[in-house]
Amino acid sequence: MFRFFVLLFCLCIGFSSYARMNKVNNELLADLKELSSAKMQGRKTGSSGSHKAAQYIIDRYTDIKLKSLTTEYRQTFDYKSGFWSIKKGENIVGVLLSDNPNANYIAITAHYDHLGHSGSKIYYGADDNASGVAAMINIAKNLKTQNLKHHYIFIATDAEETGLYGAKAFLNSNLIDTTKIVLNINLDMLAVAPRQKQLYAFSSKTMKPYKALIEQKNNTTMTQFISSNRKMNIKLKTQKVDWRNASDHAIFRKHHIPFIYFCVGTHKYYHTTKDKFENISPKYYVASVKHIYQTILSLDTIQL
C-alpha cells in the first residue's frame, strides 16, 4: 500500500510539473502568435500595429512585475531617417534586480519592429522577430523565480530593421550605468528549424571559455557556438550577410561589450509575407528557448 501511495505521489508531482511546463510553453507560443497576428500589421516602427505590439509587451512586463525605469517601461527616442527627416521609435525596457546591489548587468535584447505591410500584404514577422520577443518574455518570467547573481535588463528594441536605432538609443541613454553591462544576449529569429536543427550562438571572442557551457544538444535542437574571430558570412539568396553586424548585438560589440547572438540563420521565409505563425517549428522553438534559458542560468553563476 505504501508503495502505491509513493507511486501516486510521484505521479502527482510529475504531472503538476508537466502541467506547469506545458502552461509556460503554451504562453511562449501564445505570445509569439499574438505578436505576429494580423492586428499587429507587421509592427513597422511608428505605425499603429507597432504601438499595439509595444502595449502587449508592456502588459506582459507588468504581469511579470519587472521594474520600470521610465513611465510604463517606455524609452522613446528620435532617429534620423534619410537626410532630413527625424522619426520616433520606442524601446520597451524592464529590469529584474539581484539582491546584490553591486551586481553587474546582463542585457537581453530582442527587436519587436518588423517591415509592416504593403496594402493587404502583411509581413507578419513571426520568426523575425516575434520569436525573440516571446522568448525574452518567457526567460524574464522564469528568471524571476531564481536567486540571481546579476541584474537583468530586458530591452524590446524598436527600429532595428532600419538601422539598429533602438539599440543605439539604449546604449546612448543613461537609463542604467552601461559600463556595468558585462554581457548582451541578443535574440533574433529562433523559431524556424534549420535542417540540422542547429541553434547558432554567434559570440564575441571573449565568450570562448564558455563554449562547452553554451553548446547543448538534445533530439530536437543543438546549440552550436561560433566565435566572431572567424569572419562569418551566411548566404542569403545572392547576397551574403555579415553576422557580426546582422542585429542589435552589433551595437553592443561597438561598445566593447561581450555578446551572444542566438539565431537560426536565414531561411526561405526571411523577410517575406510567409514568415508567419503557421510556418514556425513549435517543438524546436520551445526546446531552443529552454537551451537559451539554461545557458543564462549557468552564466549567471559566473563572475563575467
Judged by the rule CB under 5 A, the positions of this chain that interact with Zn ion are 128-129, 188
Largest distance between two CA atoms of the chain: 80
- Contact by Cβ (8 Å): 169, 75: yes
Pick between residue 61 and residue 123 the one whose CB is nearest to Zn ion: 123
CB of 248 to Zn ion, least distance (A): 9
Question: CB 189 → Zn ion: shortest distance, Å?
Answer: 6
- Provide, rounded to whole angstroms, the least separation between the CB of residue 105 and Zn ion: 23
- Dihedral angle sign, alpha carbons of residues 224, 157, 131, 146: positive
Query: 29 vs 115, which CB is nearer to Zn ion?
Result: 115
The rounded distance, in Å, linking the Cα atoms of 89 and 195 is 36
284 contacts 220 by C-beta, under 8 angstroms: yes
**CB neighbours of 187 closer than 8 A, spacing ≥ 6?**
108, 109, 110, 129, 131, 132, 133, 135, 136, 262, 263, 292
- CB of 208: closest distance to Zn ion in angstroms? 25
To the nearest whole angstrom, how small is the minimum distance from the Cβ of residue 185 to Zn ion? 15
Q: Which is nearer to Zn ion, 31 or 128 (CB)?
A: 128
Nearer to Zn ion among residue 129 and residue 184 (C-beta): 129
Q: Helix or strand or coil: residue 133?
A: helix
CB closer to Zn ion out of 31 and 188:
188
What's the min distance (Å) between Cβ of 176 and Zn ion? 24
> Prior bond to 186 cis, omega within 30?
no
Distance CA 278, CA 272 (A): 13
- How far, in Å, are 26, 225, 227, 279 from residue 203 at the CA level? 29, 7, 5, 27
What grid cell was written down for 236? 542569403
- CA nearest to 251, candidates 302, 301, 184: 184
Cβ distance to Zn ion smaller for residue 128 or 300:
128
Residue with Cβ nearer Zn ion (109 or 129): 129
Closer to Zn ion by CB, 25 or 129: give it: 129
CB of 112 to Zn ion, least distance (A): 10
| Under 8 Å between Cβ of 181 and 107 | yes
Name the minimum Å distance from CB 150 to Zn ion: 25
Rg of the chain in Å (alpha carbons): 19
